[in-house]
Amino acid sequence: MSEALQAVGRTRGMGELIDVEGKVTEIAPFGRTLAELAHERPEIVGLTADMGRYSDILPFRDAHPNRFFNVGMAEQNLIMIAAGMSKAGKIAYCTTYSVFITRRAYDFVSIACAHSMANVKIFAGMPGLVNGYGATHQATEDINMMRGIADLTIIDPCDATELKQVVRAVADIPGTVYVRSLRGKVPVELGSDYQFEVGKAKVIREGRDVGVISTGYMSARARDAADAAAGQGVDAAVLHVSTIKPFDKETVLSFAQRFDRLIVAENHKTTGGLATLVVEALYEAGIMKPLIKIGLADSFFECGSQEYLEAKYQVDLPHFMRAIVEGR
Amino acid sequence: MSTLNHPPENPDIRALKGRALSLRRKMLNMASGKGEGYIAQGLGMADCLAALYFHELRYDPADPRWQDRDRFLLSTGHYSIAMYAVLAEAGYLDETELPTYGLNGSRLPMSTFDDIPGVEIVGGSLGHGLGQAVGMAMALKVDGSPARVFCEFSDGELQEGSTWEAAMGAATFKCDNLVGLIDCNGIQADGPVTVKIDPVADKFTAFGWDTVEVNGNDMEALVSALANARKQDGRPKAIVMRTTPGFGVPTLMARERAHFVRVDNSEWDSLKAELEKENV
């Protein structure tokens, strides 16, 4: 049997993370937190474009049926309706897959929402390489696209702990927010003392030898890799950059200056995302250091199990280990 | 406050026609100052805007964000010349600001933006208006507000798929507090409307809207259609308005390419004279 036909990994719920084995997880932290928050904030409404189940918003629907709207398979309309509701006084949380928000409804996010500082909070499902359905469902360039929209806040949470804080925080962040959401059984990776702050990068693991700058759930993988690498004599620190925009350049630069070599990791192409932001910031500050990018190539990606795809595209734990320990 | 500008029992058609003439004068003054503009569409919409702002809508120029105001959304942002004219006529804008239309640094650019008092959305990227109007209508229903939402969009915009997503949504969510004002003037940037759009009214009826078709330059017909649109019967309302670009100025009405008008300074005076002659 050829490598391409080997049965590696199993099918999971659409867009669920694979880093769950042996870890504490929470079910549907987005929808459950939103349902709670909406009891306190009557101006919150929830919308989806036929992706209620696969975005985890159903707990909100069940708790607040009169404030939940499924607009059908019409992502442009989802964003227009959310913008209109916000302009009539609502905070509109809306959900579908990242690919459909970014590729199909871009003009509407930009003009109907961001330009008006509309109170629209987009929780975009399946960002990056978190499903095996191929390029149609893999939003591997969404950060690159959304960074181009002025006045848009972009957040890539690491885990259930942070996602729950983000659900609450965005209600008070002015304007439109794009969140790379996590669904299903979402691991609890960050300590109970972790506190999300919009626009602030946080060190989630200290170290002396290598500086890893990462975002999204790749920050948890970076920390796992760093823990494992410590047994091989390399002590890596991890800076988690959960807010992509506005970009916390100051913290990234001061972190980068502490290390002889750097790694940037993201669940996204290595072009146009975090790595590009970091390299731009370093170059402008005159900081030249060896830097390895862990992320996806500029390509479309095939179908397959998550384990198979992550190994094939070199974003799995062994590749993190190699980058940290061997510097390649 | 809630009765502000509430429609009177017996609309004063003569007064409304006078308002429409005043709007047309303002628009010609703006276009002549800039030397160009989307004047033909504006002149075509003047009667509708007069009927809305001086008969049908409830609003308060002193409180543009009054929560229970009726909303008017101009989806075709390039009709800004008409929007600014009516906002000045209604008291949102100072008339002395109108001559800055389209000039560098002006608050009144050639497409509408929602930082202007009385402008609800950023128009201009066509196909954006109706969906936002549906969202506003839905939110107002959630709140039990008496306010209604009026959205202008054009026959050219019916070529945008997002308009039809919104049309389905309006019926699905029973937005009977929403009135679609479809300006069918038959033109778009490259000339006559390219795609087979008609029958517009039948299409909206098939999409679940309560639809009427009127001459959009007939004040009595417009006022009557707006009165019919007050019905709270679970259906969104569509008023298909057949308008004549350049209405009120024969030279512009006869102009073959009317989407964007740029003429010599001397010609603006003759166009203004035509308007006055038509309304003697």
The predicted complex's ipTM stands at 0.95
What was the pLDDT predicted at B1? 39
Got the DSSP string for B201-233? Answer: HHHHHHTT-EEEEEETT-HHHHHHHHHHTT--S
What per-residue confidence (pLDDT) applies to A15? 78
State both tokens at B259.
């989407």
Instruction: List the single residue in A with minimal CA-CA distance to B124.
Output: A111
Separation of alpha carbons A238 and A158, rounded Å: 12
Classify residue A314: in a domain, yes or no.
yes
- The torsion angles phi and psi of B201, rounded to 5 degrees, stand at -60, -40
Q: Which of A163, A187, A211 is the last residue of a domain?
A: A187
Q: Give the residue ranges of DSSP H helices in A9-141.
A: 29-40, 58-63, 75-87, 98-99, 106-107
Residues A163 and A211 in one domain: no
Q: Is cis: bond before B192, omega within 30 of 0? A: no
Instruction: Give the separation between CA A254 and CA A277, rounded to whole angstroms.
Output: 15
Q: Report CB contact under 8 Å: A85, B138.
A: yes
Mean predicted confidence (pLDDT) in A264-277: 98
Residues A109 and A250 in one domain: no
Amino acid A130: pLDDT? 84
Per-residue pLDDT at B167? 98
Quick one: A26 and A173 in the same domain? yes
Give CA–CA dist A295/A24, Å, rounded: 26
Q: What are the tens digits of pLDDT across the range A251-263?
A: 999 999 999 999 9
Q: Chain A residues with CB inside 8 Å of B173's CB? A: 69
3-state helix, strand, coil in chain A (%, to 5): 40, 20, 40
Q: What is the pLDDT of residue B258?
A: 82
Q: Which fold has domain B13-278?
A: Rossmann fold (3.40.50)
* Mean pLDDT within A47-75: 97
Written as tens digits, the pLDDT of chain B (280 aa) is: 344 456 677 899 999 999 999 999 999 999 998 888 899 999 999 999 999 999 999 999 999 999 999 999 999 999 999 999 999 999 999 999 999 999 999 999 999 999 999 999 999 999 999 999 999 999 999 999 999 999 999 999 999 999 999 999 999 999 999 999 999 999 999 889 989 999 999 999 999 999 999 999 999 999 999 999 999 999 999 999 999 999 999 999 998 888 888 888 889 999 999 999 987 6
Spatial neighbors of B265 by CB under 8 A, at least 6 apart, are B32, B35
Stretch A312-321: mean pLDDT: 95
Q: Which of A187, A212, A246 is the last residue of a domain?
A: A187
Residues contacting residue B122 through CB under 8 Å, at least 6 positions apart: A111, A112, A115, A116, B77, B112, B113, B114, B128
Phi and psi at A123, nearest 5°, equal: -105, 100
Cis peptide before A187 (omega within 30 of 0): no
Q: How confident is the model at residue A5 (pLDDT cuts 50, 70, 90)?
A: low
* CA-based nearest residue in chain B for residue A108: B128
Predicted local distance difference test score (pLDDT) of residue B259: 84
Residues of A in contact with B140 (CB under 8 A): 88
A173 and A272 housed in the same domain: no
Strands A243-245 and A153-155: antiparallel
- Mutation for B interface: A43, A69, A75, A87, most B CBs within 10 A: A87
**Residue A122 falls inside a structural domain:** yes
Is A38 in contact with A85 (CB distance < 8 Å)?
no
pLDDT digits (tens, 9 = 90+) for A91-134: 999 999 999 999 999 999 999 999 999 999 999 999 999 888 88
Rounded mean pLDDT of A34-58? 97
Q: Does B172 touch chain A (CB under 8 A)?
A: yes
Pairing of strands A177-180, A153-155: parallel
pLDDT of residue A7: 61
Same domain flag for A174 and A30: yes
| Banded model confidence at residue A1, pLDDT cuts 50, 70, 90 | very low
Say if the Cβ atoms of A80 and B140 lie within 8 Å: no
Q: Quick one: average pLDDT of A5-14?
A: 62
Measured between alpha carbons, how far is B26 from B77 in angstroms, rounded to an integer?
A: 18
Co-location of A174 and A229 in the same domain: no
Mean of the per-residue pLDDT values of chain A: 95
Listed in sequence order, the residues at least 6 apart from A172 whose beta carbon sits closer than 8 Å to its beta carbon are none
Say if A51 falls within a structural domain: yes
Alpha helices, DSSP H, located in A46-135? 58-63, 75-87, 98-99, 106-107
The domain spanning residue A233 has which CATH number?
3.40.50.920
Q: Are residues A104 and A164 in the same domain?
A: yes
Backbone angles phi, psi at A186, to 5 degrees: -100, 125
User: How much is the average pLDDT of A152-163?
Assistant: 98
Q: Rounded to a whole number, what is the distance in Å from the CA of A65 to chain B's nearest CA?
A: 11
The domains of chain B are located at 13-278
Of B124, B143, B166, nearest to A77 by CB-CB distance is: B166
Q: Contact A116/B122, CB-based, under 8 Å? A: yes
Residues A209 and A317 in one domain: yes
Q: Judge: A84–B165 Cβ closer than 8 Å, yes or no.
A: no
Give the pLDDT of residue A110.
98
Mean pLDDT of A54-58: 95
Choose among B125, B131, B142: nearest Cβ to A67.
Answer: B142
pLDDT score recorded for residue A222: 97
d(Cα B134, Cα B153) in Å, to the nearest integer?
A: 13
Residue of A nearest to B113 (CA): A116
Q: Is residue A104 part of a domain?
A: yes
From CA A47, how far away is CA A96, in angstroms rounded? 9
Has residue A17 got a pLDDT over 90? no
Q: Tell me the pLDDT band of A12, cut-offs 50, 70 and 90.
A: low
The predicted pLDDT at position A48 comes to 98
H or E segment to which residue B132 belongs: helix B129-142
pLDDT for position B88: 98
What is the count of structural domains for chain A?
Answer: 2
Domain that holds residue A62: 22-187
Structural domain contains residue A197: no
We report the CATH number of the domain holding residue A81 as 3.40.50.970
Cβ-based contacts of B172 with chain A (< 8 Å): 71-72
